């Protein structure tokens, strides 16, 4: 059975060029990048080239980049490392619509005594700037603000430039940009962020490699110890082959971003047109259709009388792969915390179906999803 893969916000399959490079590097017999012999120097060179590729792609300096194991580690390192660097009287400001790797850090930090101020979001998941201003007002110690650039569940793009402008001097701004890079134009410097998290496997790179951008002058303390790798911020022997493949994935994603956005937006437009025409009562979540404040590749919908996880299973059996909200929480019976933050009730927050497109998505993939959903809904109504 041909399978339609519409879960690129969860992970995007390896791009052929990246897979080829990864295989070549794995077969080269690279040594430990910290070793001084030839195999070690070869491995170090691969990492240096990858770091340069990413720096050029993002428009930043190489020493501002730290390779990690993925977006979750990057978010944890950014938040915990900055909180420790700023001191005990630091206020952490974030929303309840963040990825779990930010939300759970904030909740844990609050339990440990850190002052946490929660920003409200609109029904579209867009940050409320008035709530942000209230949350940062009167902070006497350090101030750390964290919000995603693009929401992983509904694709809402946050106004980070406006967020930066609303912050007092000295505030540290972190963004989870995992879902944004390669899908919309973005530059950490143009956005005015101090810290930004990325993940290679959302770009057609290998799973297990992420990145933390840290602007010069921003102090982040390490969360693990035992070596001087990654400028002492993330110790441990680096996987040179994976980092080399990830560097190429970053480069290609940024290079092809405009073409990707145009092609995938056309597919997503067509997919939503078909869904809204063929599925009575279907409801789109996130920003209004046609809004510039939504990712071009992401559709999250509610279908009357259905459950998101049931739909995912039925779609899978019919050869179409999608998600019920965030893949990181897909095994949970709990309602989506993102949809709850947006004002949906518990039943609605369990019912979201996310369709996310990527570099290898075709019109046939989208049409297959529509056909399968139409049959599922027709069958449920018949019973």
For tokens 């910290």, the residue is 34
- Cross-strand bridge partners of residue 156: 294
First to last CA, the chain: 27
- Per-residue pLDDT band for 328 (boundaries 50, 70, 90) equals low
| Domains of the chain, start order | 4-13+257-382 (3.90.1150.10), 16-255 (3.40.640.10)
CA distances from 58 to 79, 239, 287, 345, 349 (A): 21, 22, 27, 39, 35
CA-based angle 23:26:30, to the nearest 5?
Answer: 150
Examine the pLDDT at 383 and tell me if it is beyond 80: no
Query: Phi then psi for 47, rounded to 5 degrees?
Result: -65, -40
Both structure tokens of 272: 């939503």
Average pLDDT over residues 343-354: 93
Q: Is 366 a catalytic residue?
A: no
Q: Are 66 and 235 in contact (CB under 8 A)?
A: no
Average pLDDT over residues 110-133: 97
For tokens 């050869």, the residue is 319
Which residues have CB under 8 Å from 258's CB, separation 6+? 185
Q: Are 166 and 93 in contact (CB under 8 A)?
A: no
Provide the sign of the torsion angle of the four alpha carbons 5, 7, 8, 13, taken in this order.
negative
Average pLDDT over residues 22-45: 95
Average pLDDT over residues 70-75: 98
- Per-residue pLDDT band for 2 (boundaries 50, 70, 90) equals confident
Q: Are 119 and 147 in contact (CB under 8 A)?
A: yes
- pLDDT tens per residue, range 166-218: 999 999 999 999 999 999 999 999 999 999 999 999 999 999 999 999 999 99
Examine the pLDDT at 380 and tell me if it is beyond 80: no
Q: Which range is least confidently modeled, 97-101, 290-294, 321-325, 329-333?
A: 329-333
Q: Are 204 and 252 in contact (CB under 8 A)?
A: yes
Both structure tokens of 37: 């012999």
Average pLDDT over residues 353-368: 97
- Per-residue pLDDT band for 234 (boundaries 50, 70, 90) equals very high
Average pLDDT over residues 77-100: 97
pLDDT at residue 1, rounded to an integer? 46
Length of the chain: 383
Examine the pLDDT at 115 and tell me if it is beyond 70: yes
Both structure tokens of 157: 């793009």
Q: Please name the helix (run of DSSP H) or strand (run of DSSP E) that holds residue 66, with its range, or none.
A: strand 65-68
Alpha helices for 176-307 (secondary structure H): 188-191, 240-255, 257-278
Give the Cα separation of 290 and 274 in Å (integer): 15
Both structure tokens of 27: 């077969």
Examine the pLDDT at 114 and tell me if it is beyond 50: yes
pLDDT at residue 355, rounded to an integer? 97
Provide the sign of the torsion angle of the four alpha carbons 76, 81, 87, 88, taken in this order.
positive
pLDDT at residue 309, rounded to an integer? 82
Examine the pLDDT at 88 and tell me if it is beyond 90: no
Number of separate helices (H) and strands (E) present in the chain: 13, 12
The candidate with the shortest Cα–Cα distance to 66, out of 80, 55, 82, 57, is 55
Q: Which among 129, 310, 328, 340 is annotated as catalytic?
A: 328
Q: Which three-class secondary structure state does DSSP give residue 211? A: strand
Provide the sign of the torsion angle of the four alpha carbons 351, 322, 199, 72, taken in this order.
positive
Give the Cα separation of 369 and 299 in Å (integer): 12
Average pLDDT over residues 27-41: 94
Name the CA dihedral angle for 234, 235, 241, 247, rounded to a multiple of 10 degrees: 20
Average pLDDT over residues 157-169: 97
Average pLDDT, the chain: 94
């Amino acid at each position: 059975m041909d399978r339609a893969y519409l879960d690129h916000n969860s992970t995007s399959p390896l791009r052929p060029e990246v897979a080829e490079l990864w295989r070549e590097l794995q077969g080269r017999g690279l040594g430990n990048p910290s070793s001084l012999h030839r195999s070690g120097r070869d491995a170090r060179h691969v990492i240096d080239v990858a770091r340069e590729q990413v720096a050029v792609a993002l428009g930043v300096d190489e020493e501002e980049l730290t390779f990690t194991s993925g977006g979750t580690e990057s978010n944890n390192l950014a938040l915990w490392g900055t909180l420790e660097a700023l001191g005990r009287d630091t206020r952490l400001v974030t929303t309840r619509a963040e990825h779990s790797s930010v939300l759970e850090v904030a909740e844990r930090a609050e339990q440990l005594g850190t002052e946490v101020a929660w920003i409200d979001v609109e029904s579209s998941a867009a940050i409320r700037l008035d709530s942000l201003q209230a949350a940062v007002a009167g902070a006497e110690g350090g101030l750390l603000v964290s919000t995603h650039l693009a929401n992983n569940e509904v694709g809402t793009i946050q106004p980070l430039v406006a967020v930066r402008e609303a912050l007092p001097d000295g505030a540290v701004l972190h963004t989870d940009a995992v879902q944004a890079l390669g899908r919309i134009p973005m530059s950490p410097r143009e956005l005015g962020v101090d810290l930004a998290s990325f993940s290679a496997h959302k770009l057609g790179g290998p799973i297990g490699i992420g990145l933390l951008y840290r602007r010069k002058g921003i102090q982040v303390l390490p969360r693990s110890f035992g070596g001087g790798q990654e400028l002492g911020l993330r110790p441990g022997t680096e996987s040179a082959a994976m980092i080399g493949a990830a560097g190429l994935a970053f480069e290609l994603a940024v290079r092809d971003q405009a073409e990707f956005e145009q092609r995938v937006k056309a597919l997503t437009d067509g997919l939503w047109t078909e869904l809204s025409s063929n599925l009575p009562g279907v409801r789109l979540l996130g920003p209004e259709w046609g809004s510039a404040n939504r990712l071009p590749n992401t559709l999250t919908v509610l279908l009357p009388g259905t459950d998101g996880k049931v739909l995912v299973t039925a779609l899978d059996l019919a050869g179409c792969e999608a998600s019920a909200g965030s893949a990181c929480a897909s095994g949970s019976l709990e309602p989506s915390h993102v949809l709850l933050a947006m004002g949906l009730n518990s039943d609605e927050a369990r019912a979201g179906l996310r369709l996310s497109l990527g570099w290898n998505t075709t019109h046939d993939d989208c049409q297959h999803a529509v056909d399968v959903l139409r049959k599922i809904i027709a069958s449920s109504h018949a019973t």
